[in-house]
Structure 1
């Protein structure tokens, strides 16, 4: 059989398999998305504000002592499950959730099955010594 005829026969035999749709294939390309996680009106503590972004790791079962931070702000849970007691209220947050820390006395307890991690966005009055 001539090579061109063999290629044609092979292509004809494989065409039904090659033209089948792939399971779970998404023909549309990935799209940009935007999701509002927290919307809060804030009165800034002063005209100049120091902002910090802090990553915090909590070992399994760890609970912070009662404490405060320099300023309030949103907190984003990256992984784990955290029980937050802040300003007299108790809530549990998991990955992808955002909560507002008031700046009042609070505790954080890792109540999940493994390590937990959050990102703290803190807004505090500017330190006049730093400028």
Structure 2
């Protein structure tokens, strides 16, 4: 998870204009929401943090200067990226030693592949 935070922080620090900064912050809030969701699954005491992260994401989503993409573009981008993730998971399966890792990777690859199929 630290790698994700470092990447998101780098994007925020390197943003050169308001739309880029908003896009980086938006992606950062998605990461915060995902991370606090994992915490809230382990302990209900983190539910407030998860709710605030979600509220922050929704609040920023209404910013007029946040770059908006045409509907077709994100669909294609998501489909292409989900296919890349599927391929990475298949490679990870071949490198995994633990059978439980293999099963998890194959199951995730199957679902990621279905995302691609559903969008194409």
TM-score bracket for the superposition, by shorter chain length: under 0.3
User: TM-score w.r.t. structure 1 length?
Assistant: 0.18
- Rg bigger for which structure? 1
Structure (1/2) with the larger helix percentage: 2
Which has the bigger relative contact order, CA under 8 A and spacing at least 6?
1
